[in-house]
Amino acid sequence: MSDVKKVLIVGGGIGGLAAAIALQKKGIKAEIVELQKEWNVYGVGIILQSNALRAIDELGLTEEFLASGTTGSFLHIRDSQGNMIFEAPTPSSGKFNKTGGIPRRVLHQILYNAAIQLGTKIRMGTTVEVIKNIDNGVYVELTDGTSGTYDLLIGADGVKSKVRKLVFGDIEPVFVGQAVWRYSLNRPKEVENIIMFYGQKAKAGIIPMTKDSVYIFIVTAEPGNPRKPEDQLHILMREAFKEFGGLIAELSEQISDPKEVIYRPLETLLVENPWYRGRILLIGDSAHATVPHLAQGAAIAIEDGLVLGQLLQQDLPVEDILKKFMNRRFDRCKFVVENSNTLVKWELLQLEGKLPKGNEPNAIVAQSLMKMTEPI
């Protein structure tokens, strides 16, 4: 086993909590510092492809997920009026051949509970101020005035990562020209699987989260990344569905509370290999933030923690372990980021009527999701 016994994780989101669980299960003491004073989980729901469910299972949390979330076996592709174009079965990742959906807050709570039960110490309202590699460790000074040394520091503090800025310099996410709108509603009885709708100006979808709830979303082109008036978000989101008919149009008419609309400009980022300096490592969105077109952001963040936990069991120098980590993670995460970005470009070209013949967004989605079923 490596000499890593005590780890500081900066960031208490999905990636940070998953890493803490994976490490604690391997006998490595994990501590999390989280900038937010209280948990304020941003977002509505989350899609978990079959490889994400496989990762949840490796964390030992399948029972908890199934008690709160929902699963489906098919993806339905429809036109803007709800007419079926085709349906595709979920690619199989080992014993998992379903796609999951769950409220983001619920998934966060499941991960939080597991991390706490395993002995993870979490300090809220605190983050790093100073980070220094030292012999066989990392020295940190925190914003609460305390300091300490750790065998490894993990930056899991998201796309605006302070760890990344302190250690890697100015590497900023890039706005891709689109935004996504999400809104939670009661689940219609006829909705059993994820349904995607493709219009001329936007794509939309219905995502089951629990037996009683769904969220609807719409992805729109947003040239220049304009700011949206918060008190008008419900009106603007309803307007975005104007070209759609059928069930998705009926659901969009229920959008009534601007405070419940989650509007997010889409950004992307990929830190070049390697994601570590000394004993400081980036994971999740800190290293590879992706747009949601393949629904893989949470999956690859959880996978990061699982792989790191596995590798830290090896009796090797930390430098060698981190090199192995990069060998297993970089190409896989780069694949997700780049294919997701390709989908953005194709969708924007399609909007302008300039998409070259032979470029099929649905084909790249199917190929990508099949690729992600491979072992990590």
The answer to whether position 12 is within a domain reads yes
Asked if residues 22 and 311 have their Cβ atoms less than 8 Å apart, the reply is no
CATH at 243: 3.30.9.30
Provide the 3-class DSSP secondary structure of residue 374: coil
- DSSP-assigned states of every residue in 230-247: GGGHHHHHHHHTTT--HH
Domain count within the chain: 2
Strand order in the sheet with 99-103: 45-48, 99-103, 70-72
Question: Could you tell me the residue range of the domain that residue 27 belongs to?
Answer: 6-70+99-173+267-371
Q: Which of 266, 298, 320 is the last residue of a domain?
A: 266
Structure tokens at 229: 């008036």
Residues 257 and 273 in one domain: no
Contact 14, 298 (CB under 8 A): yes
The reply to whether 21 falls in a domain is yes
The number of C-alpha atoms within 13 Å of 232 and in the hemisphere containing its C-beta is: 6
Q: What is d(CA 100, CA 217) in angstroms, rounded to the nearest whole number?
A: 16
Pair 124, 59 in one domain: yes
Please confirm whether the linkage preceding 265 is cis (ω < 30° from 0): no
Q: 203 by DSSP, 3-state: which?
A: strand
Q: What is the pLDDT of residues 332-364, one digit of tens each?
A: 999 999 999 999 999 999 988 899 988 888 899
Domain match, 221 and 274 both: no
363 and 297 both lie in a single domain: yes
On whether residue 88 sits in a domain, the answer given is: no
Question: Token pair 């997700």 is at which residue?
Answer: 336
| Tens of pLDDT, residues 154-199 | 999 999 999 999 999 999 999 999 999 999 999 999 999 999 999 9
Model pLDDT for residues 262-321, shown as the tens digit of each residue: 999 999 999 999 999 999 999 999 999 999 999 999 999 999 999 999 999 999 999 999
pLDDT at 360: 87
Residue 304: per-residue pLDDT:
98
- Residue 158 DSSP class: -
Query: Is residue 348 a contact partner of residue 270, using CB atoms and an 8 Å limit?
Result: no
Distance CA 106, CA 184 (A): 14
Tokens of 52: 């994400």
For residue 93, pLDDT over 80 is answered with: yes
End-to-end CA distance of the chain: 21
Q: Are 297 and 289 in contact (CB under 8 A)?
A: yes
Q: How far is CA 146 from CA 17, 29, 133, 140, 205, in A?
A: 22, 18, 17, 9, 46
Same domain? 289 vs 253: no
Residue pair 197/205 in contact by the 8 Å Cβ criterion: yes
Whether residues 281 and 262 share a domain: the answer is no
- Read off the pLDDT band of 42 (50, 70, 90): confident
Please name the residues in contact with 229: beta carbons below 8 A apart, sequence gap of 6 or more: none
- The verdict on 106 and 193 lying in the same domain is no
Report CA-CA distances (Å) from 82 to 11, 79, 350: 41, 5, 19
Residue 369 is predicted with a pLDDT of 95
What six digits make up the tokens of 67? 């008690």
22 forms beta bridges with none
CB contact at 8 A, 154 and 281: yes
CATH number, residue 34: 3.50.50.60
Q: Taking a C-beta distance cutoff of 8 angstroms, is the pair 256, 234 a contact?
A: yes
Q: What is the pTM of this model?
A: 0.97
* Same domain? 295 vs 344: yes
Note whether 32 and 122 are within 8 A (CB): yes
CA separation for the pair 322, 217 (Å, rounded): 38
One domain for residues 184 and 167:
no
Q: Name the band, by pLDDT with cuts 50, 70 and 90, for residue 40.
A: confident
166 & 288 share domain = yes
Burial class of 368 by CB neighbour count within 10 A (0 to 12, 13 to 18, 19+): buried
Kindly indicate the confidence band of residue 148, based on its pLDDT and cuts at 50, 70 and 90.
very high
330 domain-assigned: yes
| Burial of residue 353 (number of CB atoms within 10 Å: 0-12, 13-18, 19+) | exposed
3-state secondary structure of 273: coil
266, 290, 325 — which closes off a domain? Answer: 266
Residue 364: inside a domain? yes
Alpha carbon 288 to its chain centroid, in Å, reads: 10
**Pair (257, 310) in one structural domain:** no
76 assigned to some structural domain:
no
Average pLDDT in the 98-118 region? 97
Which of the 8 DSSP states describes residue 355? P
Closest CA to 164 of 301, 335, 280: 280
Boundary (domain end) residue, out of 215, 239, 266: 266
Contact criterion met (CB below 8 Å) for 278 and 133: yes
250 & 277 share domain: no
pLDDT beyond 90 at 39: no
Predicted local confidence at residue 43, as pLDDT: 80
